[in-house]
């Protein structure tokens, strides 16, 4: 069966950790001292760690970060993030630890498309005890735009699973920018978490978490439709 489901990480597989913002901002200030950084990430043009960093630099310093600066910031951020995750043992969305295997049992391919850097993405997954199952990952280090990251995830999935195309592709996310990217790519979208639960009316399927049978039942329905097709 040629079906692919792509997961975001933050807010989709793991809960947002308040200390994560502090770790990110402190890492920036340890490398370059920038005061008054806007913490409302929804107001940025990009929804990725690399894209937001470039915007912060450009807005405050009139330039983009050098490769050395970005590397130093990334290293300090991941180090702080590791500590924060150790102090937050219940950081994953309910049912997220088991959902990959359940989807694999339905013969769907799985990939990850996240706005996080690859290093921080892996830290978040391992720190939250979510098994990666050796799935292809596209990340914020690949491109600052969410849509392009999803495209990269699809192409990596094709290579990884040896598929020429997919009959059905679903992106699973938790924020309006995730919906926007899925619409731009003309792929299906599933919303997860409380934030998207407040949107009405919804033109997408939504669940609070993965412990509800609704999520897997929805995937099963799509599976049957794709097989019938």
- Three-state SS for the chain is CCEEEEECCECCCECCCHHHHHHHHHHHHHHCCCCCCCCCHHHCCCCCHHHHHHHHHHHHHCCCCCHHHHHHHHHHHHHHHHHHHHCCCCCECCCHHHHHHHHHCCCCEEEEECCCCHHHHHHHHHHCCCCCCCCCEECCCCCCCHHHHHHHHHHHHHHHHCCCCCCEEEEEECCHHHHHHHHHHCCEEEEECHHHHCCCCCCCEEECCCCCHHHHHHHHHHHHHHHHC
pLDDT value, residue 227: 61
**How much is the pTM?**
0.92
pLDDT value, residue 188: 96
**pLDDT tens per residue across span 9-18:** 999 999 877 7
Residue 211: Cβ within 10 Å count: 14
pLDDT value, residue 228: 55
pLDDT value, residue 84: 77
CATH tag, 3-15+93-228: 3.40.50.1000
pLDDT value, residue 226: 67
pLDDT value, residue 66: 96
**pLDDT tens per residue across span 101-113:** 999 999 999 999 9
Sites in the chain below the pLDDT cut of 50: none
């Amino acid at each position: 069966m040629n079906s692919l489901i792509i997961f975001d990480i933050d807010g989709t597989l793991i809960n947002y950790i308040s200390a994560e913002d502090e770790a990110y901002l402190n890492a920036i200030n340890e490398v370059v001292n920038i005061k008054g950084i806007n913490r409302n990430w929804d107001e940025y043009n990009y929804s990725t760690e690399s894209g937001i960093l470039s915007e912060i630099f450009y807005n405050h310093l009139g330039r983009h970060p050098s490769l050395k600066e970005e590397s130093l910031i990334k290293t300090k951020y991941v180090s702080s993030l590791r500590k924060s995750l150790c102090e937050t043992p219940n950081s994953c969305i309910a049912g997220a630890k088991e959902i990959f295997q359940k989807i694999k049992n339905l013969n769907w391919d799985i990939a990850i498309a996240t706005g996080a850097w690859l290093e921080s993405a892996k830290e978040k997954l391992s720190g939250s005890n979510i098994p990666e199952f050796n799935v292809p990952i596209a990340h914020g280090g690949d491109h600052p735009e969410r849509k392009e990251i999803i495209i990269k995830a699809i192409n990596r999935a094709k290579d990884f699973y040896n598929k020429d195309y997919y009959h059905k592709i679903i992106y699973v996310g938790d924020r309006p920018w995730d919906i926007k990217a899925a619409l731009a790519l003309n792929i299906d979208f599933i919303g997860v978490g409380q934030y998207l639960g407040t949107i009405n009316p919804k033109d997408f399927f939504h669940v609070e978490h993965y412990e509800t049978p609704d999520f897997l039942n929805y995937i099963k329905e799509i599976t049957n439709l794709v097989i019938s097709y």
